[in-house]
């Protein structure tokens, strides 16, 4: 079975939690795009793990893979392996494989990301992890791949060719070009550490599927941060929608059995860009506090707002979800009434689907319906039928609006705080 799981909003929907939960039934969990701009939280027992590159199935018996479409900061990956080791979790090459063609994020990518962002008149609010510049180099065929990094002479030859170009670019952006060559010795060391993990991810996955094994592809970010279909230009630099899992991983689309969307019961966004249902006042603060809405990667406060059905509907189109995991329903406890955005007023018309351009989305005025809230603590519920009628009603209303079955409802950050509908 091949399942693809993606975020349906602007990231941070709770993908890490759902992947950890589902991984118990999978043989392989694989990341297919993005890099350490992602921050996926897994909480089991009293332990919290914030994962940036290692797939969120790490606490289960699944094999973990990082595909060739991921941009890998080797320093961050090695730190993450060390962090897990100190928590008693050994991430050996038998556990984790990284594709030979994964692109390496070099210090000059991070520097260029920061310098470019400083100079932008309209900020994007990137995570400053060098993601966009690493993908630029993949597309322009100037990337350093893990295979290059792992072979010292190939890496040094690549750097000999690239360094003058990168130094000029950094000077151009007003930065210090020394960052390019100063880091080379450290990076040869990282290559040696990561060499044993190298694998061919596409081959491993296809062989596994041929043997009827279960593979779960874990998306990072969310539908509206997709480089093409998202709210350009306030997007990330990879394709975050389900279809791209096939292309990034080298697995044909006929293999896909399930596509799961992770949807937060309200909406959040970190960084710039349109967010029609954003609540700057009391409700926004309430959601941020109750939901702990601060970036897992950068610690920035997340912008919070009411559930946005037009954006969620578009995510359903972009991904063709077969089922939905609705997260953070518990965060809405105590808010009454709850508002749901069911459409937008835009240029004198009411629309149920978002306009294509960000400049148009900025001008949309949400049309809300109000639904009844609930007061009872739902974080200990063990069965969907234990939920107050108003909470069940909220879930069913979202299901109606999206036309996709909600299979899982999450009522707290822990693995067991989950209801199967
Ligand atoms: P991801 O990037 O999609 O994996 O999401 P993050 O981990 O960045 O952010 C989700 C946050 O919400 C994390 O702190 C999770 O521990 C937490 N979380 C996940 N599901 C729930 C839930 O159902 N209720 C509550 N209260 N918190 C949740
Ligand atoms: P997970 O996987 C939320 C946002 C950044 C910024 C934009 C571009 O945890 O859901 P980038 O550094 O990627 O060039 O920044 O994308 N962003 C995320 N927002 N969750 C994420 O990942 C994100 N990854 C990137 O805030 O607005
Ligand atoms: Mg996150």
Instruction: Write out pLDDT tens, residues 349-365.
Output: 989 999 999 999 999 99
Nearest CA to ligand 2 atom 11: 126
Output the pTM of the full model.
Answer: 0.98
Check residue 297 and give its pLDDT.
83
Contact 216, 3 (CB under 8 A): yes
Asked if residue 225 has its Cβ within 6 Å of ligand 2, the reply is: yes
Mutate which of 5, 6, 9, 11 for ligand 2 pocket (most atoms within 8 A of beta carbon):
11
Return the ligand 2 atom nearest residue 39 CA: 9
Check residue 277 and give its pLDDT.
98
Residue 298 has pLDDT above 90, yes or no: no
The phi, psi pair for 118, rounded to 5°, reads: -60, -35
Closest to 55 measured CA to CA, from 31, 21, 27: 31
Match 């390496």 to its residue by tokens. Answer: 104
Quote the CA–CA distance of 294 and 155 in Å, as a whole number: 38
Domains along the sequence of the chain with CATH: 2-99+198-259 (3.40.440.10), 103-194 (1.10.300.10), 262-420 (3.90.170.10)
**For 183-308, where are the alpha helices, taking DSSP H only?**
184-194, 201-210, 242-249, 282-291
Nearest CA to ligand 1 atom 28: 413
| Ligand 1 centroid distance, CA of 335 (Å) | 19
Asked if residue 11 has its Cβ within 6 Å of ligand 2, the reply is: yes
pLDDT tens for 139-171 read 999 999 999 999 999 999 999 999 999 999 999
Check residue 379 and give its pLDDT.
98
Report the helix count and the strand count for the chain, using DSSP H and E.
Answer: 14, 20
Residue 57 has pLDDT above 90, yes or no: yes
When pLDDT is averaged across residues 255-270 and rounded to a whole number, the result is 98
Quote the CA–CA distance of 261 and 325 in Å, as a whole number: 6
Please report which ligand is nearest the Cα atom of 70.
2
pLDDT tens for 70-107 read 999 999 999 999 999 999 999 999 999 999 999 999 99
Asked if residue 184 has its Cβ within 6 Å of ligand 2, the reply is: no
| Ligand 1 centroid distance, CA of 245 (Å) | 22
Which are the contacts of 363, defined by CB distance < 8 A and separation ≥ 6?
346, 347
Asked if residue 237 has its Cβ within 6 Å of ligand 2, the reply is: yes
pLDDT band at 296 (very low <50, low <70, confident <90, very high): confident
Rounded to 10 deg, the angle between the 201-210 and 242-249 helix axes is 110
Residue 25 has pLDDT above 90, yes or no: yes
- Residue 329 DSSP label: G
Quote the CA–CA distance of 271 and 236 in Å, as a whole number: 10
pLDDT band at 192 (very low <50, low <70, confident <90, very high): very high
Residues of the chain with pLDDT > 90, as a percent, come to 98
Nearest CA to ligand 2 atom 13: 236
Nearest CA to ligand 1 atom 27: 413
Hey, is 412 helix, strand or coil? coil
């Amino acid at each position: 079975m091949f399942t693809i799981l993606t975020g349906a909003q602007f990231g941070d929907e709770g993908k890490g939690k759902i992947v950890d939960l589902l991984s118990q039934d999978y043989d392989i969990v694989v990341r297919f795009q993005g890099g350490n701009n992602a921050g996926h939280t897994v909480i089991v027992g009293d332990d919290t793990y914030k994962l940036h590159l290692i797939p969120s199935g790490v606490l289960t018996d699944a094999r973990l893979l990082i595909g060739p479409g991921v941009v890998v900061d080797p320093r961050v990956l090695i730190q993450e392996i060390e962090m897990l080791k100190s928590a008693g979790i050994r991430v050996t090459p038998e556990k984790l494989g990284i594709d030979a063609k994964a692109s390496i994020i070099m210090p000059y990518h991070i520097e260029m990301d920061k310098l470019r962002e400083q100079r932008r008149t309209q900020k994007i609010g990137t995570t400053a992890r060098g993601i966009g510049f690493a993908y630029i180099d993949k597309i322009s065929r100037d990337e350093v791949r893990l295979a290059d990094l792992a072979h010292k002479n190939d890496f040094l030859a690549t750097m000999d060719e690239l360094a003058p170009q990168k130094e000029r670019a950094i000077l151009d952006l007003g930065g210090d070009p020394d960052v390019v060559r100063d880091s080379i010795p450290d990076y040869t060391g990282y290559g040696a550490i990561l060499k044993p993990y190298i694998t061919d991810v596409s081959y491993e996955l296809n062989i596994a599927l041929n043997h009827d094994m279960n593979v779960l592809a874990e998306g990072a970010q969310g539908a509206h941060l997709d480089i093409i279909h998202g709210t350009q230009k306030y997007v990330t630099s990879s394709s975050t929608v389900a279809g791209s899992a096939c292309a990034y991983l080298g697995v044909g689309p006929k293999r896909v059995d399930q596509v799961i969307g992770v949807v937060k019961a309200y909406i959040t966004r970190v960084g710039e860009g349109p967010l029609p249902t954003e609540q700057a006042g009391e409700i926004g603060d309430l959601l941020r506090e109750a939901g702990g809405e601060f970036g897992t990667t950068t610690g920035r406060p997340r912008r919070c707002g009411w559930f946005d059905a037009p954006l969620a509907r578009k995510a359903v189109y972009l991904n063709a979800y077969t089922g939905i995991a609705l997260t953070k329903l518990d965060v809405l406890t105590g808010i009454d009434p709850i508002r749901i955005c069911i459409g937008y007023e835009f240029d004198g018309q009411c629309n149920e689907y978002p306009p294509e351009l960000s400049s148009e989305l900025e001008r949309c005025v949400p049309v809300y319906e109000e639904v009844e809230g609930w007061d009872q603590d739902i974080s200990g519920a063990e069965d969907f039928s234990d939920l107050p009628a108003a909470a069940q009603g909220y879930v069913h209303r979202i299901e109606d609006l999206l036309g996709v079955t909600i299979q899982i409802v999450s009522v707290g950050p822990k693995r067991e705080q989950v209801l199967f509908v």
